Chain A
Amino acid sequence: DTSLTEVNSFSPSVPISPSSMINQYKFEDEPELRDLFITVDDPESHITAIETFITYRVVTKTSRGEFDSSEYEVRRRYQDFLWLKSKLEEAHPTLIIPPLPEKFIMKGMVERFSDEFIETRRKALHKFLNRIADHPTLTFNEDFKIFLTAQAWELSSHKKQGPSLLSRMGQTVRAVASSVRGVKNRPEMFTEMNDYMETFSQKINVLDKIAHRIYKEEREYFNEMKEYGPIHTLWSASEEDIADSLKGVASCIDKCCKATEKRMAGLSETLLPILHEYVLYSEILMGVLKRRDQIQGELDSKVDALANKKAEKDLFSEEIGKLEDKVECANNALKADWDRWKQNMQCDMRSTFTDVAENNLRYYEECLATWESFLASQTVDLHVEEDSEDK
């Protein structure tokens, strides 16, 4: 590592034994068949003359033959992840590349380098790499392998080999032009996908907002509850007969307060990240559908050109043949990946919302137990009082 640094570490390392990794993430592919295990942890701050940035440790363990070693440890910064994503999109324009956490967070007061921000990002980056590893096609991508294994200087030099910024810009302009044409001859299936994604995108964004509102309300409730219990304790100080009852209520309220804190934490660990991921996924999917349209558009424009210039038919036919293959490949790739994505989405939603329900159940069960035990203690007292009165 050649960067001039002032190193300071943030969070403790995530355990990296393969068995613990199997339990940590529920991925749709059978974990027993996995031969690639990746963890992202140990964020470190690097301060140079020009900039400050964070690197993450990426540890890979594999039994695959194409890897020279069975274990790799590298350091990567966010930029590197962005590079990987764009390379994957380039190589597989109609595959669904998993989402990366955003560059900046607009909403909320989270500062760029706050512990909370870094931890959220770390988890998302970990998920990103693992989703790629689980993808039947992407997992064998060469740039992915280089990302996981190359040392910092090797990666830099490899990156420079890519197409220049200008040529990439040119590509984007052509892409937009092509995608417009592609919409006209779009197969029914992809129009359905498009319609689905439009609605899904709407709904997932609304859900994301709702989930954040719920978190906010729960936090406000927690803040007020913190003050509620202690008042009862204060009151008990001026009472004799009812002091115990008051203290009992205070203790119940404090326990419920802690339980609601756990509930909040659960929400932010399960529901919020997943919904956010799928908000990003909906953008990605719209992009994938556009790129498919663009590829189709290339074919369509050539076909149109052929219709006008009958003389150069032979030349065009070969090109068109190639483009037809390209379209067919793109369509098949997308169809397969789409089905896979939908299955995963269903699985993710099912398990996440079930977790949310479970979270709330635990909260109410804890509170119930607390109040029931208080009630039991009070009625015991009453019976004792009644007995002593009878005597």
Chain B
Amino acid sequence: MEDCLAKKMEITVLEAEKRTGKNAMNMQETYTAYLIETRAVESQSEGQCAPVDSLWRRYSEFELLRNYLSVTYPHIVVPPLPEKRADFVWHKLSADNMDPDFVERRRIGLENFLLRVASHPVLCQDKIFYSFLTQEGGWKEMVNETGFQLKADSRLKALNATFRVKNPDKRFTELKHYSDELQSVISHLLRVRARVADRLYGVYKVHGNYGRVFSEWSAIEKEMGDGLQSAGHHMDVYAASIDDILEEEEHYADQLKEYLFYAEALRAVCRKHELMQYDLEMAAQDLTSKKQQCEELATGTVRTFSLKGMTSKLFGQETPEQREAKIKVLEEQIQEGEEQLKSKNLEGRDFVKSAWADIERFKEQKNHDLKEALISYAVMQISMCKKGIQVWTNAKECFSKM
């Protein structure tokens, strides 16, 4: 962690701005642009104010960055972006992407994403990432020039295709299983949390109805009037308090959401490994069958059924020259195949080694972050209870004076 970018550079997503422009299909569209500000850390310690660099990026550019990182570093659990569209909303919260609260939460999420990448030992060194933060113009072209999309297509297929690996790595299988469970349990939790938030909102807001009735009733009471009136005021305070409480809770939900999306990133690494393993097994299988073919041709015995074999039986044997040529081709292919297999094996071992190192790093980060999130949730609940106690203590005093 010593050399990572986050230590050398302060990164903030400062603000968001609504923009209009033409999109790829030359149609008018409205989008939000985010201001990224960077400042070198070192100069600050000298008592000078470091110059601030800033540029604007929109969400689609963040997406492009992340896609590039995922494809270029398939063995890394790449930090996720905040959600594209508001999900798991409870009724009061807007599902509108242009809603200022959503935009604000997204701003925080994007900043978090950049900080996560900047503090990752491997990712922080990426030049494209650095340019994303520092070079406004021409960045998109730079990314496309890396040609990562070519790798990306096949990667997309990898995520969706179903295939069976003969010798799966037990650790990766377990990890994939874990990532599935994590995804499922967090989405369930977020769904129920949204419903609980909805209901809690209802309970608080309905108390707000007391205020007006008490006030109107107090008008006809001589002795009870004051108590009623002031109690009603406290009920209004109570009803209003839920807005801040639930807004804070939304940040907690965002923390959980990050790990919901992290589960996907984890799964992607497992899939990549599966794909590599499958590739390896296919290559090995191919090599074995070529070797067998070669042997058959050389010895003249047919051990495996092949269409070629059948046709040659039906339409006559090949000439010795034809056979020689075939054997030569096969021997070349076999040699190539053996080299490929060797490098694939090496690739595979390297992948497992570096992937596993990052997975361990991720696990520690996850445990730390989630534990902190749970603690912050408890802190929020405590604050909510204390507010409730204060309001009802005041109300009780008013009622007892009626």
The interface residues of chain A lying within 8 Å CB-to-CB of B231 are: 353
The interface residues of chain A lying within 8 Å CB-to-CB of B375 are: 245, 375, 378-379
| Stretch from A39-47, A315-323, A362-370 that touches the partner | A362-370
CB contacts under 8 Å to A, within B388-402, are 388-389, 392-393, 395-396, 399-400, 402
CB contacts under 8 Å to A, within B362-392, are 367, 370-371, 374-375, 377-379, 381-382, 385-386, 388-389, 392
Q: Does B220 contact A (CB under 8 A)?
A: yes
The interface residues of chain B lying within 8 Å CB-to-CB of A358 are: 396
Q: Whole-angstrom distance between the alpha carbons of A225 and B106 in the complex? A: 28
A214-B206, A375-B382, A378-B375 given; A364·B389 CB < 8 A: yes
Asked if B393 and A221 sit within 8 Å, CB to CB, the answer is no
| Stretch from A5-13, A79-87, A115-123, A205-213 that touches the partner | A205-213
Asked if B202 and A249 sit within 8 Å, CB to CB, the answer is no
Asked if B402 and A350 sit within 8 Å, CB to CB, the answer is yes
Q: Interface of A with B (CB < 8 Å)?
A: 196, 199-200, 203, 206-207, 210, 213-214, 217-218, 220-221, 223-225, 227-228, 231-232, 234-235, 238, 241-242, 245-246, 248-249, 252, 256, 346, 349-350, 353-354, 356-358, 360-361, 363-365, 367-368, 371-372, 374-375, 378-379
Asked if B399 and A249 sit within 8 Å, CB to CB, the answer is no
Chain A CB count within 10 A is highest, among B186, B207, B371, for: B371
A242 → chain B closest CB, angstroms: 5
A200-B217, A378-B371 given; A353·B402 CB < 8 A: yes
Asked if A368 and B399 sit within 8 Å, CB to CB, the answer is no
A199-B220, A218-B203, A231-B185 given; A361·B209 CB < 8 A: no
Minimum CB distance partner of B400 in chain A: A354
Partner of B202, one of A203, A217, A231, A256: A217
Minimum CB distance partner of A349 in chain B: B402
Q: Whole-angstrom distance between the alpha carbons of A363 and B51 in the complex? A: 54
Partner of B196, one of A213, A225, A356: A225
Q: Whole-angstrom distance between the alpha carbons of A294 and B199 in the complex? A: 50
B226 → chain A closest CB, angstroms: 12
A210-B213, A228-B193 given; A242·B367 CB < 8 A: yes
The interface residues of chain B lying within 8 Å CB-to-CB of A218 are: 203
The interface residues of chain A lying within 8 Å CB-to-CB of B155 are: none
Asked if B389 and A350 sit within 8 Å, CB to CB, the answer is no
Asked if A221 and B202 sit within 8 Å, CB to CB, the answer is yes
Q: Whole-angstrom distance between the alpha carbons of A22 and B54 in the complex? A: 77
Partner of A231, one of B192, B200, B209, B224: B192
Asked if A368 and B386 sit within 8 Å, CB to CB, the answer is yes
The interface residues of chain A lying within 8 Å CB-to-CB of B389 are: 361, 364-365, 368
B249 → chain A closest CB, angstroms: 12
A241-B367, A354-B399 given; A228·B382 CB < 8 A: no
Q: Does B4 contact A (CB under 8 A)?
A: no
Partner of B213, one of A203, A350, A357, A368: A203
B256 → chain A closest CB, angstroms: 10
Asked if A246 and B203 sit within 8 Å, CB to CB, the answer is no
Q: Does B142 contact A (CB under 8 A)?
A: no
Asked if A217 and B199 sit within 8 Å, CB to CB, the answer is yes
Q: Whole-angstrom distance between the alpha carbons of A379 and B378 in the complex? A: 12
Q: Whole-angstrom distance between the alpha carbons of A224 and B385 in the complex? A: 19
A381 → chain B closest CB, angstroms: 8
Partner of A375, one of B189, B200, B220, B378: B378
Question: What secondary structure prevails in chain A residues at the interface with B?
Answer: helix
B252 → chain A closest CB, angstroms: 11
Interface range on chain B: under 10, 10 to 19, 20 to 34, or 35 or more? 35 or more
Asked if A210 and B374 sit within 8 Å, CB to CB, the answer is no
Minimum CB distance partner of A234 in chain B: B185
Asked if A371 and B393 sit within 8 Å, CB to CB, the answer is no
**Could you name 25 residue pairs across A and B whose Cβ atoms are closer than 8 Å?**
A203-B217, A206-B213, A207-B210, A217-B199, A224-B199, A234-B188, A238-B178, A238-B182, A241-B371, A245-B371, A249-B374, A346-B224, A349-B224, A349-B402, A350-B399, A353-B399, A360-B388, A361-B396, A363-B388, A364-B386, A364-B388, A368-B382, A371-B385, A378-B374, A378-B375
A365-B389, A378-B375 given; A210·B399 CB < 8 A: no
The interface residues of chain A lying within 8 Å CB-to-CB of B8 are: none
Chain A CB count within 10 A is highest, among B213, B367, B386, for: B213
Asked if A357 and B402 sit within 8 Å, CB to CB, the answer is no
B88 → chain A closest CB, angstroms: 13
A51 → chain B closest CB, angstroms: 40
The interface residues of chain A lying within 8 Å CB-to-CB of B213 are: 203, 206-207, 210
Q: Whole-angstrom distance between the alpha carbons of A214 and B370 in the complex? A: 34
B192 → chain A closest CB, angstroms: 5
Partner of A210, one of B203, B206, B386: B206
Q: Does B101 contact A (CB under 8 A)?
A: no
The interface residues of chain A lying within 8 Å CB-to-CB of B203 are: 214, 217-218, 221
B68 → chain A closest CB, angstroms: 31
A245-B374, A371-B385 given; A357·B392 CB < 8 A: yes
The interface residues of chain A lying within 8 Å CB-to-CB of B207 are: 214
Partner of B382, one of A207, A235, A371: A371
The interface residues of chain B lying within 8 Å CB-to-CB of A225 are: 196
The interface residues of chain B lying within 8 Å CB-to-CB of A223 are: 199
Partner of A224, one of B195, B210, B221, B224: B195
Q: Does B17 contact A (CB under 8 A)?
A: no
Q: Does B331 contact A (CB under 8 A)?
A: no
A238-B181, A358-B396, A364-B388 given; A249·B206 CB < 8 A: no
Q: Whole-angstrom distance between the alpha carbons of A203 and B206 in the complex? A: 16
The interface residues of chain B lying within 8 Å CB-to-CB of A371 are: 378, 381-382, 385
The interface residues of chain A lying within 8 Å CB-to-CB of B2 are: none
Asked if B393 and A361 sit within 8 Å, CB to CB, the answer is yes
Asked if A217 and B206 sit within 8 Å, CB to CB, the answer is yes
Asked if B388 and A249 sit within 8 Å, CB to CB, the answer is no
Q: Whole-angstrom distance between the alpha carbons of A374 and B196 in the complex? A: 21
The interface residues of chain A lying within 8 Å CB-to-CB of B374 are: 242, 245-246, 248-249, 378
The interface residues of chain B lying within 8 Å CB-to-CB of A200 are: 217, 220
A369 → chain B closest CB, angstroms: 9
The interface residues of chain A lying within 8 Å CB-to-CB of B382 are: 368, 371-372, 375
5 tightest Cβ-Cβ pairs between the two chains A and B: A357-B396, A368-B385, A221-B199, A364-B388, A353-B399
Q: Whole-angstrom distance between the alpha carbons of A220 and B204 in the complex? A: 13
B20 → chain A closest CB, angstroms: 41
Asked if A242 and B400 sit within 8 Å, CB to CB, the answer is no
Q: Whole-angstrom distance between the alpha carbons of A220 and B178 in the complex? A: 33
Asked if B378 and A374 sit within 8 Å, CB to CB, the answer is yes
Q: Mark B155-182, 1 if CB is under 8 A from A, else 0.
A: 0000000000000000000000010011
The interface residues of chain B lying within 8 Å CB-to-CB of A214 are: 203, 206-207
The interface residues of chain B lying within 8 Å CB-to-CB of A248 are: 374
Q: Does B216 contact A (CB under 8 A)?
A: yes
The interface residues of chain B lying within 8 Å CB-to-CB of A207 are: 210, 213, 217
The interface residues of chain B lying within 8 Å CB-to-CB of A224 are: 192, 195-196, 198-199
Asked if A252 and B381 sit within 8 Å, CB to CB, the answer is yes
If A221-B200, A368-B389 are given as contacts, then 4 extra A-B residue pairs at C-beta distance below 8 Å, sorted by A number, are A234-B188, A249-B377, A346-B221, A356-B399
